[in-house]
């Protein structure tokens, strides 16, 4: 497994170059030059009026261009330009449900017909089979039924920043930002038996083991920790790096993968990529990892990847570039499920 993982890591290419940042400035300079009017004599008033009208039109065009660059308006003279992808979240094939938090607003769609769009939240996660959605709303953790109504609500004592639902659906692990620290808590799937597990952690999404009897998280010091639910005990993961940014239990068995920049740790195997990675996850029992430049193994995702999540045989990713979007699916079927405006902030994506 070590040689195979290292081979796949070595196959990653260098990151793609970022788009030029001075495009808008050059357009602005050209527009301003177009507004420079020559000095004219009083007898040419009609020409002055015509020039002023042209200048006003140029200013309107410049304003429209600025709004278009900000993602607030899409303008094309002579032809309307449409987004390359859907403007509302759609369900990818082979999945039970998908959720996305964009600019603090939650969108959810599931195979059962549950559809929600525009709810202000701080975090969100789907239950197994996407039967429910858990979300941070205000200073509470809330579970919503498939019809969109509230199943239960529990005071969290702060802002919920990330949520992980156990594979059996009986427990939820979540991280809360309080006035002074980040606190890891667990709660039963029916909204009862809430308990604090660790009062000083990092804002990394916990990962549940396949048997739902343990989950991994990142302590305040940056090392990965496994919490045993049955024994109510914590243990630092052997061979854990000091700056873990993601933890991921395999969908079967007890294999745990850790990501620390360019370093991936699976059990006793430690491998290092040539470039920085932005995400890991188990897809169909195989560990997938992606770089910001757009490379991914074993999945194929076109474009510069911003973030990546996986669940079972499905995965989702946020892609930046000229046409920012959310893509999701399986290893053999990847589709754009949401087109994003320029500058959109994606806080969370969940897929089942």
The predicted structure's pLDDT at residue 250: 94
Pairing between β-strand 333-339 and β-strand 325-330 as defined by DSSP bridges: antiparallel
Determine the pLDDT at residue 206: 98
What is the rounded CA–CA span in Å between residue 94 and residue 107?
Answer: 19
What is the rounded distance in angstroms from the CA atom of residue 228 to the CA atom of residue 201?
Answer: 16
Pairing of strands 105-110, 97-102: antiparallel
In a domain, 287, yes or no: yes
Task: For residue 32, tell me if it sits in a domain.
Answer: no
Residue 247 lies in a domain: yes
Task: Check which CATH number belongs to the domain holding 237 and give it.
Answer: 2.130.10.10
Q: Is residue 71 part of a domain?
A: no
Mean pLDDT by 10 residues, the chain (352 residues): 54 40 39 35 44 43 37 29 66 87 92 88 93 94 82 95 96 96 96 96 97 97 96 94 95 94 92 87 87 70 85 87 87 85 88 88
The answer to whether residues 204 and 224 touch, using CB atoms and an 8 Å cutoff, is no
Domain membership of residue 39 (yes or no) is no
Q: How many CB atoms lie within 10 A of CB 85?
A: 18
**What's the pLDDT at 150?**
82
Edge to edge, the sheet with strand 115-120 lists: 115-120, 105-110, 97-102, 346-351
Inside any domain, residue 292: yes
- For residue 318, what pLDDT is reported? 92
- Domains contained in the chain, number: 1
> What's the pLDDT at 148?
67
In this structure, is residue 170 part of a structural domain? yes
* Assigned domain for 324 exists: yes
Range of the domain at 105: 2-14+83-351
Question: Taking a C-beta distance cutoff of 8 angstroms, is the pair 124, 130 a contact?
Answer: no
pLDDT of res. 78:
29
């Amino acid at each position: 497994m070590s040689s195979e993982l290292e081979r796949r890591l070595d196959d990653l290419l260098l990151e793609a170059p970022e788009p030029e940042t001075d495009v808008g400035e050059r357009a602005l300079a050209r527009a301003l030059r177009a507004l420079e009017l020559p000095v004219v004599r009083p007898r040419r008033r009609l020409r002055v009026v015509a020039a002023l009208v042209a200048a006003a039109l140029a200013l309107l065009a410049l304003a429209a261009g600025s709004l278009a660059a900000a993602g607030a308006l899409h303008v094309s003279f002579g032809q309307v330009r449409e987004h390359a992808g859907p403007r509302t979240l759609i369900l990818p094939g082979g999945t039970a449900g998908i959720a996305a938090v964009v600019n603090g607003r939650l969108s959810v769609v599931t195979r059962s017909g549950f559809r929600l769009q525009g709810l202000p939240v701080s975090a969100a996660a789907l239950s197994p089979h996407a039967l429910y959605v858990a979300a941070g709303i205000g200073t509470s953790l809330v579970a919503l039924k498939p019809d969109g109504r509230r199943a239960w609500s529990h005071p969290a004592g702060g802002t919920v920043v990330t949520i992980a639902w156990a594979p059996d659906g009986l427990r939820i692990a979540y991280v809360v930002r309080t006035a002074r620290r980040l606190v890891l808590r667990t709660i039963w799937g029916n909204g009862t038996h809430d308990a604090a597990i660790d009062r000083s952690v990092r804002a990394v999404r916990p990962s549940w083991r396949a048997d739902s009897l343990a989950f991994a998280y990142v302590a305040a010091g940056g090392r990965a920790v496994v919490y045993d639910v049955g024994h109510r005990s914590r243990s630092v993961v052997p061979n854990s790096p000091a700056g873990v940014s993601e933890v991921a239990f395999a969908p079967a068995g007890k294999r745990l993968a850790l990501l620390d920049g360019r370093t991936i740790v699976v059990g006793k195997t430690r491998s290092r990529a040539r470039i920085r990675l932005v995400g890991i996850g188990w897809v169909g029992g195989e560990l997938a990892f992606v770089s910001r430049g757009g490379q991914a193994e074993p999945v194929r995702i076109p474009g510069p990847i911003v973030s990546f999540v996986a669940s079972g045989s499905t995965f989702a990713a946020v892609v930046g570039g000229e046409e920012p979007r959310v893509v999701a699916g399986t290893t053999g079927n990847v589709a754009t499920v949401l087109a994003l405006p320029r500058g959109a902030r994606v806080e969370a994506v969940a897929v089942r």
